[in-house]
């Protein structure tokens, strides 16, 4: 293990372990955390083929019984129907309330398996093993679990913290480039919302992260998990400061939904959403044009290869109006005031939102 970051939440505190080549010490860590010897691993078929065997081998070696539930990959698996089919499998196999749910995969598996762990028998222990860059720096930390509803993304869920997070960067080597791009969406976000040093590190090293160079990946992972752990420790249920993590996400969610979750992946939508929202900040005079240019220039070095012309402005605006983060119908935006600092703003005009969206959908990167 290379480093450990702690999420401080009283009796629900937990560590995030980050490093490379960690699989051989996984079961010993479960022992250390006092978990029972029974586990259900929830994963998708892609991740299962790559990482299930060594994980189960390590668990069995330490006397653990582990069953696997393998589902197809993809965002549309994050549904109540899929959660229900997992409940059925677990109930039929008489999975008890001390059994640990291990979420092995990206953010889709983390959110879905987390939701299952939060609700099965009113809650069973959960361990997150994130295997994508995005899930390692962001979604596995902080206890937000959810499934999607036809009327909106992440509409049904719970706050439910894991016993620990196990982020092995070795897993990233098999990740398709597009998923690395997605991870960079959240990584650049951390720089803009609270870490000017991380932002300038990325200005010098963004291609090294894209190439998954170990030193660069470990560096950004340490920074991002520390920032996220800090925000979650202060504000577990997003009633205050945690909201800044939504920078880029108000427009981002609209873009994702307008493309039916097919045109853009979450992290790609966040990359574009951050350009649009920084544009809004510029138009409102919160940042000057030079800062907007610096932000947009870094983001555009991360290649989003999607046909943005498929995204129609009217659909984006409509999708944004369903966003559960709209406070009483009023869209709340997290906007930069400088690199490393943001502010929550309400009452942005439809015209300005539209202009910001058109700025990205008509300019193919």
Ligand X SMILES: NC(=O)c1ccc[n+]([C@@H]2O[C@H](COP(=O)([O-])OP(=O)(O)OC[C@H]3O[C@@H](n4cnc5c(N)ncnc54)[C@H](O)[C@@H]3O)[C@@H](O)[C@H]2O)c1
Residue 330 is a catalytic residue: no
Is 243 or 354 the residue whose CB approaches ligand X more closely?
Answer: 243
Closest distance of CB 277 from ligand X, Å: 16
Tell me, letter by letter, the H, E, C secondary structure of 325-365.
Answer: CCECCECEEEEEEECCEEEEEECCCHHHHHHHHHHHHCCCC
Give contact residues for ligand X (rule: CB under 6 A): 44, 46-47, 50, 73, 75, 78, 105-109, 111, 131-132, 134-135, 138-139, 142, 144, 154, 171, 174-175, 179, 182, 266-267
Residue 144 is a catalytic residue: yes
Closest distance of CB 314 from ligand X, Å: 23
Q: Can you list the positions of beta strands (E) in the chain?
A: 3-7, 14-19, 38-44, 65-71, 100-105, 126-130, 144-149, 152-159, 164-168, 332-338, 341-346
Is 277 or 286 the residue whose CB approaches ligand X more closely?
Answer: 277
Residue 242 is a catalytic residue: yes
Residue 266 is a catalytic residue: yes
Report the run of H or E that residue 62 belongs to, with start and end. Answer: none
Closest distance of CB 92 from ligand X, Å: 25
Q: Which of 75, 170, 203, 238 is catalytic?
A: 238
Distance CA(177)–CA(307), nearest Å, equals 17
Residue 322 is a catalytic residue: no
Q: Any idea which residue has 């005079």 for tokens?
A: 285
Closest distance of CB 206 from ligand X, Å: 18
Which residue's CB atom is positioned nearest to ligand X? 107
Q: Are strands 100-105 and 126-130 parallel, antiparallel or unpaired?
A: parallel
Residue 178 is a catalytic residue: no
Residue 253 is a catalytic residue: yes
Closest distance of CB 182 from ligand X, Å: 5
Q: Which of 242, 282, 331, 332 is catalytic?
A: 242
Is 95 or 257 the residue whose CB approaches ligand X more closely?
Answer: 257
Q: Which of 78, 82, 179, 186 is catalytic?
A: 186
Helices 214-234 and 177-194, axial angle in degrees (round to 10): 50
Q: Which of 78, 153, 223, 249 is catalytic?
A: 249
CB 118 within 8 A of CB 202: no
CB 86 within 8 A of CB 68: no
What SS3 state is found at 302?
Answer: coil
Distance CA(326)–CA(339), nearest Å, equals 25
Residue 33 is a catalytic residue: no
Active site residues: 122, 144, 186, 228, 238, 242, 246, 249, 253, 266
């Amino acid at each position: 293990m290379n480093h450990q970051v702690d999420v401080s939440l009283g009796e629900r505190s937990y560590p995030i372990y980050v490093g490379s080549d960690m699989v051989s010490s996984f079961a010993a860590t479960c022992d250390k955390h006092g978990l029972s010897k029974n586990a259900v691993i929830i994963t998708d078929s892609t991740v299962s083929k790559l990482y299930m065997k060594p994980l189960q081998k390590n668990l069995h070696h330490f006397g653990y019984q582990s069953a696997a539930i393998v589902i197809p990959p993809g965002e549309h698996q994050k549904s109540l129907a899929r959660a229900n089919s997992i409940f059925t499998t677990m109930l039929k196999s008489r999975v008890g309330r001390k059994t640990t749910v291990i979420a092995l995969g990206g953010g889709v598996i983390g959110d879905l398996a987390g939701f299952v762990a939060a609700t099965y028998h009113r809650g069973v222990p959960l361990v997150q093993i994130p295997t994508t860059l995005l899930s390692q720096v962001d979604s596995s930390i902080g206890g937000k679990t959810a499934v999607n509803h036809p009327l909106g993304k992440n509409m049904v869920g719970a706050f439910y913290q894991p016993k620990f997070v196990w982020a092995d960067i070795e897993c990233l080597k098999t990740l398709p480039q597009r998923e690395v791009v997605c991870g960079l969406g959240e990584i650049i976000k951390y720089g803009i919302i609270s870490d000017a040093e991380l932002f300038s590190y990325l200005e010098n090293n963004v291609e090294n992260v894209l190439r998954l160079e170990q030193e660069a990946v470990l560096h950004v992972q340490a920074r991002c998990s520390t920032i996220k752990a800090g925000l979650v420790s202060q504000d577990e249920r997003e009633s205050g400061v945690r909201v800044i993590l939504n920078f880029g996400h108000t427009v981002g969610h609209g873009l994702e939904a307008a493309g039916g979750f097919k045109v853009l992946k979450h992290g790609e939508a966040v990359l574009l959403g951050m350009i649009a929202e920084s544009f809004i900040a510029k138009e409102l005079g919160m940042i000057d044009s030079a800062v907007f240019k610096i932000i947009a220039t870094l983001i555009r070095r991360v290649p989003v290869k999607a046909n943005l012309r498929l995204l129609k402005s009217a659909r984006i605006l409509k999708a944004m109006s369903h966003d559960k983060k709209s406070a009483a119908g009023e869209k709340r935006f997290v906007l930069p005031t400088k690199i490393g600092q943001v502010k929550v703003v309400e009452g942005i005009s439809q015209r300005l939102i539209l202009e910001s969206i058109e700025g990205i959908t008509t300019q193919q990167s």
